[in-house]
Amino acid sequence: MERQLIAGVDEAGRGPLAGPVFAAAVILHRQNTILGLADSKQLSAVKREYLAEQIQQNASAWAIGRAEVEEIDRLNIFQASLLAMQRAVLALTQIPSLVLVDGKYCPKLDCPAEAIIKGDQKVAAISAASILAKVHRDAQMCLLDAQYPGYGLAQHKGYGTKQHLLALAALGPSAIHRRSFSPVRHYERI
């Protein structure tokens, strides 16, 4: 009997006021165990970077999906997150027989999927996806920081920190700010 290919899926960046939402899908290799996998929020940036490298080198398959700011504003952040997850699964080089998703909801897929609350703490493949999504999103926010200086995106990654809100008040929203989020709308210049 052929072994099941289980993909773990998680997203990063639902809460920030700026930038895309990212998702990752990971199918771990049965023989290449990656030690130290955990919910990305419980790991230091250095540990996440190290583990992301290990995942990318040792997983059977991995892929990143994202939904852009325009999609977040048009669909809402929940639907955009599901879209990013769907794109990550569709980008895998292997077709999973089962997809395990962190949270309460699954994206629309052509294969069976199961939502697992706190899955990033319970399922290694979801932990791996959590790490990849966070690392790839953080890297994107650092690139966007160079394109949109003055907001401090490299430091806070788009989250609504005091520094970010002060920058929004001074500069107004940029092209990568989520205008459907009320803190951003508040600083919209007419």
Q: How far, rounded to the nearest angstrom, does the alpha carbon of residue 86 sit from its chain's CA centroid?
A: 12
Q: Is the pTM of this model over 0.75?
A: yes
- List, for residues 23-59, the tens digit of each pLDDT value: 999 999 988 889 999 888 899 999 999 999 999 999 9
Complete domains list, the chain, with CATH: 6-147 (3.30.420.10)
Angle between the N-to-C axes of helices 45-58 and 124-147, in degrees from 0 to 180, rounded to the nearest 10? 120
- List, for residues 11-22, the tens digit of each pLDDT value: 999 999 999 999
